[in-house]
Amino acid sequence: MKVATAGLYGPVQEDLRLVEDTFDRIKNVENFPALAKMLAHVLGGGGKRTRPAIALLAGKFGDYNIDFHVPLAASIELLHTATLVHDDVIDASPSRRGRATANAIYNNAASVMLGDFMFAHASELISRTDNTAVVRLFSHTLMAIAGGELHQDLSAYEYSNDTMKYFARIEGKTASLFATSAEAGAMVARCSDAEREALKSYGLNVGMAFQVVDDILDFTGDEAEMGKPVGSDLLQGTLTLPSLLLMERYPKDNPIKKAFRTKKPKPEYVAEAVNMVRGSDIVKEVHSVARDFRDKAVAALQDLPAIEARSTLEDVADHVLDRRS
């Protein structure tokens, strides 16, 4: 089922405006116009706000309190955005979502410090939940994200990567924050242990589906919609599920092996790999993997109360599967 983005978040759609209000306050740094300008740029890039929406929706299964849940949701999105700022520095990315990155406008050092500032602000926001267990979860999640990114960076251009390493990497890099969004929302709402575990499982599997779809789009997406070149993962030396399956099918002679002989892959080899994936049933096979994760996410919700938040979370899972950017 395809779900439109407008109104996707149902009972928390209006409360997401309070999250945006939080960002507006963060952007208004007094007596530091340069920092205010940088924050306005990175926080004004839009995004679907899926992670904070999940945190708010999870809170609907217990004692929902905007005084706690809005800072939680804002901290999660701020943490996510800070990791993107650092990623762009590491990858030397000139654009993201069709907009110039902070490092393309400013210098790398300033961008790194901007990310650090946002991490610190995210930590301050999470402390407003007045829940030490949530603060601890937040810290563990940051370590998981950093570990996933380190694994990706240190294994760049390694032709020996396999699917098990791939799934472990994307769980840390991407799915861990989705899982934390759902689990922390439940924790702040004082949900039962069973509800908390169900929502954590939902978030983890939605996050896995999200990243697998992202990796499909790197081969099949429209550059204008995605705001980045097709095949950019391979250009940066990152093996994803479509490229791993391509290597399995053509172990002796495939363009990825040729591309990874140097740390500056020739665009023609990347283009050849993209065309080979597009011309095969690999996209269909990988999309089936994403669908399996979506199905696990929806199944995790089945013992939760049949309230509007549950059907909305199901819609979010469908949207993750069907998205084009």
Question: Residue 203 maps to which CATH number?
Answer: 1.10.600.10
Better-scored residue on pLDDT, 216 or 160:
216
In a domain, 1, yes or no: no
Is 148 a residue whose pLDDT tops 60? Answer: yes
Q: Say if 171 falls within a structural domain.
A: yes
Q: How many CB atoms lie within 10 A of CB 307?
A: 12
pLDDT at 2: 41
What percent of the chain stands above pLDDT 70? 96
pLDDT, mean over the chain? 91
pLDDT at position 96 over 80: no
Residue numbers of the domain that contains 62: 10-322
Task: Look at residue 2 and tell me if it is in a domain.
Answer: no
Count of structural domains within the chain:
1
d(CA 165, CA 177): 18
Q: Which residues pair with 100 in a beta bridge?
A: 95
- pLDDT at position 155 is 83
Is residue 5 one of the residues assigned to a domain? no
Q: For the chain, what's the residue count?
A: 325
* Helix-strand-coil split of the chain, %, nearest 5: 70, 0, 25
Residue 4 belongs to a domain: no
Sequence-separated (6 or more) residues with CB below 8 Å from residue 184: 55, 58, 72, 76, 129, 134, 137, 138
> Are 27 and 39 contacting, i.e. CB atoms less than 8 angstroms apart?
yes
Decide if 295 is inside a domain. Answer: yes
pLDDT at residue 189 is higher than 80: yes
Q: Is residue 110 part of a domain?
A: yes
The answer to which of 67-81, 203-217, 253-267 has the lowest mean pLDDT is 253-267
At 6 the pLDDT is: 59
Would residue 3 count as lying in a domain? no
Residue 54's contacts (CB-CB under 8 Å, 6 or more residues apart) are 178, 181, 182, 185, 203, 206, 313, 316
